């Protein structure tokens, strides 16, 4: 208003302007009060009103500019946005310029003096040399384009804002187009894990840029006290209330009690388990809730220096473990238990394994023994076996088939296993027949004495199967049957067909299948007797007969084993906390690789044909692998057993039948994208919470998948309180590795 006034006609224009200003004063001052003021007082009133409006205009312009800056930096995490805003404020990018002629609160007095003297004050921009501009002309946009235009008016001090804006613009362009991402990079081969960690780029704000999120994901809360040994789907109280009785309350019922969305804490006195082979001979007492006052546990354990040791004798075996195994071997015309390999026995199923003493002994002679036992709330057989570093899974012969294919095991053992195999019309023993390979052996041991009815019932049932007794029976504690190769036999119930309808039942797909009273035949290609199998370890390299049996590791069997062996070597170099550190390698430091026994219990969540397992064995790692074939993938589990390995079928929308804190390493290749393509995906949160449940503190997770799946998995890993790093895969721009370690926390 005052910038257009001409002061060459005295004070007339001032009064005219003052009258207009007085009409806008509203309730601040009446018209009569204004006319009663002297000329200097009127000038001061008009000046104060002008300054107030100028300040309001500047504040609104700064707010508008700040909103524009927020829109431009919306892609960035919160910390990056704060940094950009601070830089903008330092260089006046996000603030409005001051109005020409109004430089301080003292301008009013100078204005009054100039007006009274009739001179031209700083209100006239033409005399000051400052170009007139409105607040709307000097916004962030005008400064931004004026800098980019490289005009003469751009000062040298604008170089830094130009550089910063170029960097930010390039990042936004790369993020939107998706050609590359600011990932931490570890390029294979990385034979030195310390050198590899130097290539890892430190993530910004806990993966905020990675997920284009502004805040760290909220961590999952811990489970309440008393859930240290919680196993989903095995809630005995809820099952009983739902009407399950007569032993069915101890079975798996996921429809009654599902999983919990919380992190299960370890027991108060929990310690990291001992490494193999020390864990085979003793465990920490605080890791299991074992009642040492019970009579049964006093015979199972020996307490020595705060450890639970295992005696050489096992009450379940009714003898010393080695003598019992020698008696078994003598029934098979073998000199001792060290010669089971001569009978080409590789895979053994131990029903009701007790303390797993037999499995620990046979493992020393390359005979892998899988323990299967019913659920027990605390200190169960399965939990004890896994704590000792031996394979085990929760299961029973009450209602459903076990998650193994037909003809899976070379030998099945049941010594005081607590299961009456001859009951329910012989369905449990028929399930044993389904699992036993032709030419395989079934060992049944029971103490002598009593009325002999269990033996009579077992003899009646087995006589109707294709089994032959290969050892003395009635006067011995140990009885061994051998399954014939080509005898379909008869069934227990004469009203049912002898052989299951092959078109109706799938013998190699037992998931959620009930026990049957008909005999299941394996496919013709798998009807190979134990005696005609290749000897171990040549058995591990048998060719793939069925072209449909493809998976992540098909090349391992078809002539390119070095692919997975090299991958295992690189995986092993990453199993160290140094991968999560940003400290450089110091001069003189040697390359220290993790020990071969750093992990013992390993699970492959998407095993394919067991290539990862085979590579671990070939590279000399002291680990066993639970090969899981998901229901969402091709069923390659029969081929895994044919190779002398073992595993189970499982649906990852359900909890795995095992106890918390039972595995040292979880590995999965292409599982995340595979589960995402399911018609009804269960989400990463459910999968990762289950992985956290079965993973031991300080345990490891290695996931290999496509870019998008690994991005999502990284954010969920943060919610699980895991340390995590993303690693590039050489020669494959579409895939990444996610290496995580579970932290050791206590509630």
pLDDT attached to residue 180: 38
Highest-pLDDT range among 2-11, 251-260, 513-522, 546-555: 513-522
Average pLDDT, the chain: 74
Q: Does residue 414 contact residue 352 with C-beta atoms inside 8 Å? A: yes
337-380 pLDDT tens trace: 999 988 999 999 999 998 899 999 999 999 999 999 999 888 88
Two tokens, residue 208? 């905020």
Is the per-residue pLDDT at 538 higher than 80?
Answer: yes
What average pLDDT score do residues 645-656 get? 95
pLDDT attached to residue 465: 87
Is the per-residue pLDDT at 645 higher than 90?
Answer: yes
150-188 pLDDT tens trace: 444 444 445 666 677 777 777 666 655 543 333 333 344
411-433 pLDDT tens trace: 999 988 878 888 888 899 999 99
- Alpha-carbon distance 116 to 120, whole Å? 10
pLDDT band at 113 (very low <50, low <70, confident <90, very high): very low
Q: Which sign, positive or negative, has the C-alpha torsion 93, 94, 98, 103?
A: negative
Q: Does residue 252 contact residue 231 with C-beta atoms inside 8 Å? A: no
Q: Which sign, positive or negative, has the C-alpha torsion 494, 499, 500, 503?
A: negative
| Unique residue bearing structure tokens 């390995």 | 645
- Alpha-carbon distance 568 to 572, whole Å? 6
Two tokens, residue 653? 């929308």
Task: Flag whether the pTM goes above 0.75.
Answer: no
- The values of phi and psi at residue 342, to 5°, are -65, -30
What average pLDDT score do residues 448-474 get? 75
Q: How many CB atoms lie within 10 A of CB 580?
A: 14
Question: Rounded to a whole number, what is the distance in angstroms from the first to the last CA of the chain?
Answer: 69
pLDDT attached to residue 89: 53
Is the per-residue pLDDT at 666 higher than 90?
Answer: yes
pLDDT band at 312 (very low <50, low <70, confident <90, very high): confident
Is the per-residue pLDDT at 23 higher than 50?
Answer: no
Q: Does residue 478 contact residue 442 with C-beta atoms inside 8 Å? A: no
Which distant-in-sequence residues (6+ apart) come within 8 Å of 264 by Cβ? 222, 223, 227, 228, 230, 660, 661, 692, 693
709-729 pLDDT tens trace: 999 999 999 999 999 999 888
Q: Which sign, positive or negative, has the C-alpha torsion 165, 171, 175, 178?
A: positive
- Alpha-carbon distance 367 to 656, whole Å? 25
* pLDDT, greater one: 657 or 498: 657
Which distant-in-sequence residues (6+ apart) come within 8 Å of 36 by Cβ? none
pLDDT attached to residue 250: 79
pLDDT attached to residue 736: 92
- Alpha-carbon distance 509 to 497, whole Å? 20
pLDDT above 90 coverage of the chain, percent: 34
| Unique residue bearing structure tokens 């087995």 | 462
Q: Does residue 551 contact residue 629 with C-beta atoms inside 8 Å? A: no
Listed in sequence order, the DSSP H helices in 282-356 are 295-300, 321-331
Is the per-residue pLDDT at 589 higher than 70?
Answer: no
Q: Does residue 221 contact residue 263 with C-beta atoms inside 8 Å? A: yes
200-227 pLDDT tens trace: 433 333 333 333 333 456 889 999 988 9
Is the per-residue pLDDT at 99 higher than 60?
Answer: no
Two tokens, residue 263? 């992190």
Q: How many CB atoms lie within 10 A of CB 585?
A: 15
pLDDT attached to residue 122: 37
Is the per-residue pLDDT at 526 higher than 50?
Answer: yes
Two tokens, residue 638? 């029969």
* pLDDT, greater one: 113 or 619: 619
120-148 pLDDT tens trace: 333 333 333 334 444 444 444 444 444 44
What is the side-by-side order of every strand in the sheet holding 409-415? 392-394, 368-373, 347-351, 409-415, 436-445, 478-483, 467-469
- Alpha-carbon distance 127 to 674, whole Å? 74
Listed in sequence order, the DSSP H helices in 484-560 are 554-557
The count of C-alpha atoms lying within 13 angstroms of the C-alpha of 202, restricted to the half-sphere facing its C-beta, is 5
H/E stretch holding 567: helix 562-574
CA trace torsion 423, 427, 431, 436 (10° rounding)? 70
Three-state DSSP class for 483?
Answer: strand
541-587 pLDDT tens trace: 877 655 445 444 444 444 445 678 888 888 888 888 767 765 444 43
Q: What structural domains does the chain harbor?
A: 2-177 (no CATH), 398-533 (3.40.50)
| Unique residue bearing structure tokens 């005999």 | 519
The C-alpha R_g of the chain, in whole angstroms, comes to: 39
Two tokens, residue 8? 């060459």
Which distant-in-sequence residues (6+ apart) come within 8 Å of 634 by Cβ? 548, 549, 550, 551
């Amino acid at each position: 208003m005052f910038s257009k006034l001409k002061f060459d006609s005295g004070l007339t224009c001032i009064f005219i302007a003052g009258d207009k200003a007085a009409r806008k004063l509203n309730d601040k001052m009446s018209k009569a009060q204004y006319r009663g003021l002297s000329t200097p007082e009127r000038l001061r009133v008009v000046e104060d009103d002008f300054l107030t409006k100028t300040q309001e205009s500047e504040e609104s312009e700064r707010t508008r500019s700040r909103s524009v800056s927020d829109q431009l930096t919306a892609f960035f995490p919160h910390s990056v946005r704060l940094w950009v805003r601070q830089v903008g404020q330092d260089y006046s990018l996000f603030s409005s310029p001051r109005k020409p002629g109004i430089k301080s609160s003292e301008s009013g007095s100078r204005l009054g003096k100039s007006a009274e003297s009739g001179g031209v004050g700083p209100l006239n921009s033409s005399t000051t040399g400052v170009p007139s501009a409105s607040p709307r002309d000097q916004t962030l946009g005008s400064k931004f384009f004026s800098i980019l235009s490289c005009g003469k008016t751009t000062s040298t001090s604008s170089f830094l804002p130009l550089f910063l804006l170029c960097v930010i613009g390039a990042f936004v362009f790369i993020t939107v187009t998706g050609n590359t991402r600011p990932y931490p990079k570890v390029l294979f081969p990385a034979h030195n894990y310390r050198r590899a960690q130097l290539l890892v780029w430190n993530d910004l704000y806990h993966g905020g840029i990675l997920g284009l999120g502004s805040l760290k994901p909220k961590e999952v809360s811990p489970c309440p006290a008393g859930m240290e040994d919680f196993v989903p789907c095995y809630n005995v109280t809820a099952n009983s209330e739902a009407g399950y009785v007569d032993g069915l309350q101890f079975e798996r019922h996921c429809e009654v009690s599902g999983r919990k969305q919380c992190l299960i804490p370890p027991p108060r006195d929990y310690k990291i388990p001992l490494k193999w082979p020390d864990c085979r001979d003793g465990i920490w007492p605080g890791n299991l809730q074992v009642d040492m006052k019970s009579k049964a546990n006093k015979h199972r354990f020996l307490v020595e220096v705060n450890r639970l040791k295992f005696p050489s004798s096992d009450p379940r075996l009714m003898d010393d473990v080695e003598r019992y195994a020698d008696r078994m071997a003598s029934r098979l015309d073998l000199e001792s238990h060290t010669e089971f390999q001569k009978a080409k026995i590789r895979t053994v199923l131990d029903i009701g394994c007790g303390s797993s003493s037999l499995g620990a002994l046979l493992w020393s002679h390359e005979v892998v023994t899988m323990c299967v036992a019913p659920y027990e709330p605390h200190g169960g057989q399965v939990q004890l076996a896994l704590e000792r570093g031996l394979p085990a899974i929760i299961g029973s012969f009450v209602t459903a088939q076990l998650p193994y294919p037909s003809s899976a095991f070379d030998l099945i053992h049941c010594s005081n296993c607590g299961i009456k195999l001859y009951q329910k019309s012989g369905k449990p023993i028929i399930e044993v027949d389904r699992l036993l390979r032709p030419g395989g052996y079934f060992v049944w041991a029971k103490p002598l004495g009593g009325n002999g009815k269990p033996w009579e019932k077992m003899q009646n049932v087995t006589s109707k199967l294709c089994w032959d007794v290969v050892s003395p029976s009635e006067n011995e504690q140990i009885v061994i049957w051998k399954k014939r190769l080509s005898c379909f036999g008869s069934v227990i119930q004469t009203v049912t067909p002898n052989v299951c309808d092959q078109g109706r039942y799938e013998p190699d797909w037992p998931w959620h299948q009930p026990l049957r009273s008909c005999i299941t035949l394996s496919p013709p290609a798998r009807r190979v007797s134990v005696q005609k199998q290749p000897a171990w370890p040549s058995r591990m390299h048998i060719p793939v007969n069925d072209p449909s049996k493809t998976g992540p590791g098909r090349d391992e069997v078809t002539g390119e084993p070095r692919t997975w062996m090299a991958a295992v070597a690189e995986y092993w170099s990453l199993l160290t906390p140094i991968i999560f550190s940003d400290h450089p390698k110091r001069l003189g430091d040697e390359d220290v690789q993790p020990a071969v026994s750093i992990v013992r219990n390993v699970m492959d969540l998407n095993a394919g044909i067991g290539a990862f397992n085979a590579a671990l064995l070939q590279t000399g790692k002291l680990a066993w692998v639970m090969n899981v074939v998901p229901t969402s993938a091709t069923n390659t589990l029969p081929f895994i057993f044919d190779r002398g390995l073992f595993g189970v079928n499982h649906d990852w929308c359900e909890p795995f039948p095992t106890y918390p804190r039972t595995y040292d390493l979880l590995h999965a290749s292409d599982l995340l994208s595979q589960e995402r393509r399911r018609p009804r995906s269960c989400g990463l949160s459910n999968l990762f919470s289950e992985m956290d449940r079965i993973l031991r503190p300080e345990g490891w997770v290695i996931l290999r998948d496509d870019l998008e799946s690994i991005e999502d998995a990284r954010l969920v890993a943060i919610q699980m309180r895991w340390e995590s790093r993303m690693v590039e895969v050489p020669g494959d721009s579409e895939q990444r590795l996610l290496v995580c370690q579970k932290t050791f926390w206590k509630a």
